[in-house]
Structure 1
Amino acid sequence: MNKKITLRLGRPEDAQHIAGMIIMAMTEECCRHFYGEHHSIEDFHRLMTQLAASPGTQYSYENTICAIDDKGRIVGISVSYDGARLEELRQPFIDSAIREFGIDHSSMSPETQSGELYLDSLAVLPEYRGMGIAKLLLKATAEKAYKMGALPIGLLVDESNTQAEQLYYKMGFRHINNNKWGGHNMKHLQLTSEK
């Protein structure tokens, strides 16, 4: 890695950047599933920024590890939380989507479960990819899982995203089962967190 990258926890003032990177991780097509045909990606970004700035949401700065370059710019994120808290942390998103977009996502299947640290979003800016930042963020997430009682790390990867899937397998993740999220077929992968 030729640029100096440091990691730190997210802050409320990072919300706009965190939201943009979560959207990048989700893909615009998945986001459209959540905001519908009568709204825009900008509307969705506003909603996600509000959620990222708030404590007690799945997309909160509280759940975010930020990768920072030598100019202080957020160039990557890892958003993770205790899977046992999914219902509670997801409710603000469901309430906001109903209020802002008139779409009720309360019947969405759970993307995680009790007994795992769920890696909700992992993203690195395109110009910073291939520098080991995703691996750095994954290692920091594994450390978080270990501190929480050596919980395994779980995540969903889109079946069509073979590049990300291969990265996860190289990092030691294994396929657990299949799921559907954001209108896409997903694979649920898991990594045992060990010291």
Structure 2
Amino acid sequence: MIRPAQPTDAEAVVPLIIQAMGTLANKLTNSDDVEVINEIFKHFFQQRGNQYSYENTLVFEDEGKVLGSINAYDGSKLPELRQPFLAYLAEHHQANNTNQGTETQSGEFYLDTISVNPKTQGKGIGKQLIKAGIDWAKQLGHHHIGLLVEQNNDRALKLYQNMGFAIQNEKEFMGGLYHHMVFTTNC
């Protein structure tokens, strides 16, 4: 079952967000300490009004266990959603990452992180989460749904292409090269 996330889902969802981000989590938090990274994302997941908030997250739950998550938001709101994160890092972790670039843009609903527990991958959970993200975007009136996929991640690229996403352009973000992919709705 896919449902909106709650603050109490932090223990299950935060590792999924970090898994999806890979080394970007380290770059964004300016830390290589797994506990620090986890603490930062847990703090923000449980808060409102930021890009990693529970309110911007759907979870896939089966028999009371969260097995996957998708984090998404209106791309035009990224600067205001990211601001609390950057301010917190500057205040509590002496990190000054204000020039990170942007992974999304106005005019698209951005699928930021999509992640499935490694023990349950390959069972269609990711596809269900992506479909739920597309439906969520449509409900909010968006016609373009965007995401980034690392250029060397052929498996994810193929999945997104099979689900109707097309490469719009190439994007450099925080030192990595990505395909910026877009799904356009018919409504």
Please name the residue that 1:3 is paired with: none
**Cα distance per residue 1:15-50 (max 9 Å; x no partner):** 2322211100001x222223335x502101100001
- 1:82 paired residue number: 74
Q: 1:181 offset after TM fit, Å?
A: 2.4
Whether 2:161 is the aligned partner of 1:161: answer no
1:114-133 deviation line (CA, Å, top 9, x unaligned): 11110000000111111111
TM-score normalized by structure 1?
A: 0.90
> Number of residues paired by the alignment?
187
Alignment partner of 1:25 is 2:17: no
Provide the rounded CA distance (Å) in 1 between the counterparts of 2:175 and 2:90.
18
**Is 1:14 aligned to 2:14, yes or no?**
no
Distance 1:133 1:162 in 2: 18
- Give the structure-2-normalised TM-score: 0.94
In the alignment, what sits opposite 1:94? 86
Aligned residues: CA RMSD = 1.4
Structure 1 letter corresponding to 2:170: N
Structure 1 residue corresponding to 2:126, chosen from 117, 128, 134: 134
Unmatched runs of 5 consecutive residues or more in structure 2: none
Distance in 1 of aligned mates of 2:161 and 2:98 = 31
2:99 alignment counterpart: 107
Shift of 1:14: 1.0
Contact 2:5-2:57 within 8 A present in 1 as well: yes
Partner of 1:121: 113
Identity of aligned residues (%): 35
Q: What residue number does 2:54 align with?
A: 61
The structure 1 segments of at least 4 consecutive aligned residues displaced by more than 4 Å after TM superposition are none
